[in-house]
Amino acid sequence: QVQLVESGGGLVQAGGSLRLSCAASGRTFSSSAVGWFRQAPGNEREFVAAVSANGGITGYADSVKDRFTISRDNGKNTVVLQMNTLKPDDTANYYCAARRPYAIGIRRVPNEYDYWGQGTQVTVSS
């Protein structure tokens, strides 16, 4: 069982930066790919970024590529999403999610992830 807790959300002006963290409990976290998703009111949950279990493979949505960076520290059971050059369209509740241990590859679809955090709100003002 993996439990995930997000932190780092807040209010920022357009062009600013935020650093989201996902802290995990559970011995199998280092064997799980992890993704970040976001959901704005009235919208479906959408993929933002993902990282493989060993950190060697990453993937990004086109809308955040070159602005966001995902990384992980398995020694600290933490995944970080560094968000730069934020835009009002980035406003959403951001969720960290983990795939089941030893599942191969990263995925961009929410139903491929088995464990979810409660989310952290990011608001970007214009």
How confident is the model over 19-32, as pLDDT tens digits?
999 999 988 889 99
Q: Mind listing the pLDDT tens digit for each residue in 47-106?
A: 999 999 999 999 999 999 999 999 999 999 999 999 999 999 999 999 999 999 999 899
Which DSSP string do the residues of 105-117 spell out, in sequence order? S--SSGGG--EE-
Spell 57-81 as b/e; 16+ CB within 10 A means b: eebbbeebeeebbbebeeeebbbbb
Look at residue 27 in the predicted model and tell me its pLDDT: 81
